[in-house]
Amino acid sequence: MASTMLSLASTTPSASLSTQEILKGKARLGSGRVGTLLNKEKGNPFIKAKSFGRISMTAAVNVSRFEGVAMAPPDPILGVSEAFRADTDVKKLNLGVGAYRTEELQPYVLDVVKKAENLMLERGENKEYLAIEGLAAFNKATAELLFGADNPVIKQQRVATVQGLSGTGSLRLAAAFIERYFPGAQVLISSPTWGNHKNIFNDARVPWSEYRYYDPKTVGLDFEGMISDIKAAPDGSFVLLHGCAHNPTGIDPTPEQWEKICDVIQEKNHIPFFDVAYQGFASGSLDADASSVRLFAARGMELFIAQSYSKNLGLYAERIGAINVVCSSADAAARVKSQLKRIARPMYSNPPVHGARIVANVVGDPALFNEWKAEMEMMAGRIKNVRQKLFDSLSAKDKSGKDWSFILKQIGMFSFTGLNKTQSENMTNKWHVYLTKDGRISLAGLSLAKCEYLADAIIDSYHNVS
């Protein structure tokens, strides 16, 4: 049934002469009345008329209008899991993407989540469209979780909260809002930062620049560099901060450092923009992990916060999160919320209901909420244990005297090992350990049982490869 179609669509400049001739000839057909054209089909050398249902045969130019589309490179983070899946070696270890694994290295669906889903099914919840801003019960719960239910910003109704597609979707809504209402304003992002941040701002056409963050010499925070770069930026810039458990480094400012960061942001009239993807997952405590955000809110600042429930409730694939904008008045919050909705509508109309209901049910039921806190402490606890074991293995095996204690100082799912690109590649090619090229490992994907193997791989890559 091969049919050859004349296509007048984009042809490259190098279109053949015969194509040109065909195009010239065809041009006349387009301008005439189609009714006449159809009547004259039989005599038209370019179209052999067929009765309805059969294929039109025409002179052929089989060029796709997407011929010029190049093959895109694989995603640096998500592509790691794809490569891992393709690897057949039994020793393989996936420390690429930040998804929590049990000690048996299995994915983990929280018990409270299963309970919530059972409740939802028993209740016979319907599947009606949510409002553009999402599930009201979820929006209320998520803002209260972030700020504390008694927080003045909530009591004064100064927070615009819109349900978003997890962290990414919430960041994107904010980025589009910034592009529209703060044209020319740039976002300062940490060096390094989560790989997708730049893509989000690029696609939203928001300019960005970097502030120093990671100090490879100390494998810690370059605090002076950070402050200096934030000070040097034009007034009124947005400063993207990780609320806790910095991704990819695992290095967080201390409380005293947060105060100073807040000072300089206030001095410069910058707007803080928090990415909170690990509340409760970093330390095990929801309140402790929100302290940076609450500090800024308490200073009376206006700020943006993107939240995600991917990790702390294990709802990765349900895509549930929120964008919160703390404003100086309830009126401003209402106006901002209406404009965030205007951005969401032409993106996907309204957000998915399932994950939102799960969160609302878990947070809204005291028994489930307590169970959740316990499961979160368990997950955070496992990671702390794994950090300890990895540190012990490295210290025991590495005779060079290198200080590996940064592994214990870092917090959250990730550790920045300090391995460079080539060394990271060695980890994968020789040891079948999958990580991102910046040397970031996900401790959530590590078991106590595999710590020694990983230590061997890291030591080899660090010392024997440059």
Partner 1 sequence: MESLSTKEKTSKDCNGDSVFENVVRAPDVPVYAVMVAYSKDPSPVKLNLGIGVYRTEDGKPHVLNVVRRVEKLLLDDVSATKEYLPITGMAEFNKLSAQLVFGADSPAIKENRVTTVQCLAGCGSLRTGADFLAKHYHQHTVYLSQPTYGNHPNFFLAAGLTLKTYRYYDPITRGLDFQGMLDDLGSAPSGAIVLFQVCSHNPTGVDPTLHQWEQIRQLVRSKGLLPFFDNAYQGIVSGSLDMDAQSVRMFVTDGGECLVAHSYSKIMGLYGERVGALSIVCKTADVASRVESQLKLVIRPMYSNPPIHGAAIVTAILKDREMFDEWTVELKAMINRIIHLRQQLLDALRDRGTPGDWSHITKQVGMYTFSGLNAEQVAFMAEEYHIYMSSDGRINMAGLSAKTVPYLADAIHSAVTRIV
Length of the chain: 466
228 binds partner 1 (CB under 8 A): no
CB of 20 to partner 1, least distance (A): 13
CB of 363 to partner 1, least distance (A): 17
65 binds partner 1 (CB under 8 A): yes
Catalytic residue status for 87: no
Give whichever of 191 and 266 is closer to partner 1, judged by the CB atom: 266
Judged by CB under 8 A, the chain residues 266 through 285 that form the site for partner 1 are: 266-267, 271
What is each CA distance from 282 to 104, 247, 287, 291, 428, in whole angstroms? 21, 11, 11, 12, 27
CB of 418 to partner 1, least distance (A): 27
Q: Which helix (H) or strand (E) holds 386?
A: helix 366-397
Question: Which of 113, 187, 239, 276 forms a contact with partner 1 (CB under 8 A)?
Answer: 113
Residue 197: CB atoms within 10 Å: 21
Spatial distance between the Cα atoms of 125 and 357, rounded to a whole number of angstroms: 9
Instruction: Give one word for 12, left, alpha or beta, with left for phi > 0 and alpha for psi -120 to 50.
Output: beta
Judged by CB under 8 A, the chain residues 70 through 89 that form the site for partner 1 are: 70-72, 75, 78, 82
Q: Where would I find the H helices in 165-254?
A: 166-181, 195-203, 223-232
Per-residue contact flags (x/-) with partner 1 for residues 392 to 431, judged by CB under 8 A: ----------------------------------------
Chain-centre distance for alpha carbon 309: 12
Catalytic residue of the set 229, 275, 289, 438: 275
Judged by CB under 8 A, the chain residues 163 through 222 that form the site for partner 1 are: 165-166, 168-169, 172, 181-182, 196, 199-200, 202-204
62 binds partner 1 (CB under 8 A): yes
Catalytic residue status for 42: no
Q: Dihedral angle at the C-alpha atoms of 305, 306, 309, 312, nearest 10 degrees? A: -50
288 binds partner 1 (CB under 8 A): no
Question: Which of 42, 43, 66, 86 forms a contact with partner 1 (CB under 8 A)?
Answer: 66
Contacts of residue 373, defined as CB under 8 A and 6 or more positions apart, other chains included, come to: 280, 286
Question: Which of 322, 327, 407, 443 forms a contact with partner 1 (CB under 8 A)?
Answer: 327
306 binds partner 1 (CB under 8 A): no
Of 214, 206, 196, 263, which is closest to residue 238 (Cα–Cα)?
A: 206
CB of 394 to partner 1, least distance (A): 29
Beta strands 321-326 and 271-276 are: unpaired
* Cα Rg of the chain (Å, integer): 27
Catalytic residue status for 194: yes
Q: Quick check: 415 and 250 in contact, CB under 8 A?
A: yes
CB of 274 to partner 1, least distance (A): 16
Judged by CB under 8 A, the chain residues 363 through 382 that form the site for partner 1 are: none
Catalytic residues: 194, 275, 311
